[in-house]
Amino acid sequence: MSAGTVGLVVVSHSRALARAAAGLAQEMVHGKQLPIAIAAGLDDTTFGTDATQIVEAITAADQGAGVVVLMDLGSAVLSAELALELLDDELRARVVLCPAPLVEGLVVAAVAAAGGATADEVVAEATSALAGKIGHLAPAATAVAEGAEPGTGLDELTGDFTVRNPHGLHARPAARLVHEVRKRDARTFIRNLSTDSGWVNAGSLSKIATLGVRCGHDVQLRVSGSQAAEALDHILALAARHFDEPLADAPVRQADPPVTARQSPIGASPGLAIGPARIAGLRPIAIPEIAAADPATELRRVSKAIAGVRRTISQLRARTAREVGEAEASIFDAHQLLLDDTELLDAVRARIDNGASAVTAWSAAVSELAAEFAALPDPYLQARAEDVNAVGDQVLRAMLGSAASTSTTSGVLIAADLTPAEAAELASDQVTGVVLAFGSPHAHNVILLRAKGIPAVVGAGPAVLDIAEGTVVAVDGTSGEFIIDPPEQVRRTFAERVAALAHRQEVARARAAEPAVTTDGVPVRVGANVGSVDDARAAAAAGADYAGLIRTEFLFLGRRDAPGIEEQIAVYRKIAEAMDGRRITLRTLDVGGDKPLEFLPAAVEMNPFLGERGIRHSLRHPELLSHQLLAISHVAQHHPVSVMFPMISTLDEFFAARRLLDEVLSASGRTRPADLEVGMMVEVPAAALKAAAFARHVDFFSIGTNDLTQYALAADRNNDAVAGIGDTYDPGLLALIRSTCVGAAGRASVSVCGEFAADERAAALLVGMGVDALSVTPPAVAATKEAVRALDSRRAAACAEAALSADSAATVRDQLPGGG
């Protein structure tokens, strides 16, 4: 490597991609070692780019002859531009940001640099890297261009679509649009045709928000660049899918909801807590008055904070997707895009150039952007100012070295509601309990609270928001009761109950690995719901008897292609090994409608919850299901495995899925492994009522009470307005569980894997109706086993019989041991 060689820097969101591209480029120079540095990914597994990391790569690649930086897409360009600002003047003068496509450009640039080309010559060669492709594909490209709207010219395409999303282009659909725009080498502008707005950059989340696009508005696009046709096609396809957002969205909660019959608070996460009230969002961040250093230092401070927050949000997104669901996790996409927003970063840079400190510049720019959202006429878009402030606060705290108040304050958290992100950040050893003015016991943020073991009450009413900071609040997350400023005697009694519960939990954890057997000798298996290899390890450590539900969609969501058979085998095997010989239940892919696959777009559905979900989606794509079944059957040769088909409604659906399994086994030359069991989810009322017909063909039923409740009672579990209706204790829902058990009649086992299984009060009802297995989150295993051990199966049967004849969910609760 000579001192006069031009250095190359690869900036990519993916570290693996950057390494592979650099390796390919190095191969092309036949052994000559080039100064190629990589600035890619936030770590080996987290996508993102970091300006500080790019500065280090440029410094490492510089040999005195100049450095050419090649980037992949979107924020990689923004991060590289910010990195230039952080360099000293001498080095900056030798650096060139190259617009060439990453892979082709890097290969050509490497060859040119190895031949002794100057930096400008390397850039020129790299920029022309696509000439061969363009020449070869020119006829097709011209054909597309000729079909463009008159007057747009060959280098620009136009398109339009109508927005049908209930809240227009709000945070999540706008984030999907921006993400699509940034994927390709194209410049995209957008305007609201219905309001005759001006054109704005479609790669800026904040600028899209200023268009005020509501449901029913027409939107127009202008796209130019080498990938204009591809970009336009993908954007229009995304719009046709309503940006992968269900149209049946929950209504917006107004500040002053109409007066209706008062709904009682709902116990949403069992447990007891007492402590001082901590009001969410009460303490604003104090902006210190400090003198600014030089602009490069201040920009570096912003860049470092953004990189740290981006990493945190990426981790939260991954965890939420695994524990809650991809739809809820997608809100983090909007948060990530705000961190890369060109308009926001330009505003920060301008303020720093004018002498402001990093903290002051960031705070002012965020406040200005939030004010733009707040000034929009649409109430839903106005509320997005909270998202801007939330992300802005994260960056401010990173710069100031202070943590978020909700996760570090000890006591009972009081809030209107919590986002999944906020719930994910709460620490159970600090937040002893949660009281929400609104919310649903079936919402995903509450599922997170249950997983963390934090007692919670939802639907407490807006009056709780008036509780003074520091007021003692006692919370019973089981009954839904809470007491504000209780008398001293009540405090002492409640504190004793909390201590007694903590002792019971400690005892339960100590004997978690022991079987759960009722007092009269009836064994009940207690398993764990698993969404990753780490979850499987946690389940085994928690004493789970088996993995009762493995949500295999974590392997399929959020990626551009389906996982291969070998990848699936490897992951399923790791889960089986983590469970150390215990049976694992692999649910086949449960997506469609409300959980779309990026690599397999689904048709637009008016009501995706009643559309092609679960087994319906899989049977429509039999190759995808066959590959999964082949991977499952391979693992079943060496481990006890159960395969479970989701959302079965008819015998024909089950038979079709079973035939595919038989065909896969036959084609692979294998017989059905002795330890391979075949079963189905009971999530549809019809399946529960036809259990006797199914029981002749299955080894087991697994009742998913979350979906079964919303389908049986026509109450969306994510809709606060019907939270009180979608109650799992409803006698009608209990009758469906009982129907499943009666239909099984000893021919098939019956488990419950929904949230109801983890409710200790429900143990008597479920065991009394004939359920012989419960599958819960790993942290709930020990307590669930203790609840079973406290039961007498004959008394439980009598309790269940009384519940089935009750007139309401409230009556059922009142009849349970201890009442309420």
Report H helices in 612-696. 614-620, 622-636, 651-667, 685-689, 691-695
Q: Please say if 444 is a catalytic residue.
A: yes
For 811, the 3-state DSSP assignment is helix
Reported for 631-634, long-range contacts at CB under 8 A and 24+ positions apart, including other chains, are: 631/565, 631/568, 631/569, 631/572, 632/568, 632/572, 632/586, 632/588, 633/661, 633/664, 633/665, 633/668, 633/670, 633/672, 633/673, 633/676, 634/565, 634/569, 634/668
Sheet of 272-279: strand order equals: 266-269, 456-458, 431-436, 411-415, 272-279, 472-476, 481-484
**Contacts for 330 with CB less than 8 Å, ≥ 6 apart:** 172, 175, 176, 244
**Cα first-last separation, the chain:** 78
Give the C-alpha distances (Å, rounded to integers) separating 550 from 213, 533, 696, 703. 40, 10, 24, 14
Beta strand residue intervals within 163-317, DSSP E:
187-192, 200-201, 218-224, 266-269, 272-279
Rounded Cα distance, 83 and 331, in Å: 28
At position 456, the amino acid (one-letter code) is A
User: Any idea of the CA torsion for 759, 765, 767, 768, to the nearest 10 degrees?
Assistant: 170
Q: Please say if 753 is a catalytic residue.
A: yes
Sign of CA dihedral 533, 539, 540, 545: negative
Rounded Cα distance, 76 and 14, in Å: 10
Q: Is 546 left (phi over 0), alpha (psi -120 to 50) or beta?
A: beta
Nearest to 227 by CA among 121, 51, 104: 104
User: Any idea of the CA torsion for 663, 666, 671, 673, to the nearest 10 degrees?
Assistant: -40
Report H helices in 511-562. 533-541
**Beta carbons within 10 angstroms of residue 90's beta carbon:** 7
For 103, the 3-state DSSP assignment is helix
For 682, the 3-state DSSP assignment is strand
Whether the Cβ atoms of residue 647 and residue 618 lie closer than 8 Å to each other: no
Rounded Cα distance, 482 and 467, in Å: 12
Whether the Cβ atoms of residue 607 and residue 248 lie closer than 8 Å to each other: yes
At position 728, the amino acid (one-letter code) is T
- Phi/psi for 663 (5° steps) reads -65, -40
**Residue tagged active-site, from 98, 741, 753, 799:** 753
Length of the chain: 820
Exposed, middle or buried, 770 (CB in 10 Å: 0-12/13-18/19+)?
buried
Give the residue carrying structure tokens 């609760």. 813
Nearest to 646 by CA among 707, 729, 736, 557: 707
Structure tokens at 304: 């470092």
Whether the Cβ atoms of residue 178 and residue 201 lie closer than 8 Å to each other: no
Nearest to 453 by CA among 538, 517, 516: 538
- Phi/psi for 160 (5° steps) reads -150, 160
Question: What radius of gyration do the chain's Cα atoms show?
Answer: 29
Nearest to 12 by CA among 96, 94, 103, 92: 103
**Residue tagged active-site, from 217, 242, 444, 621:** 444
Whether the Cβ atoms of residue 788 and residue 763 lie closer than 8 Å to each other: yes
Catalytic residues: 444, 753
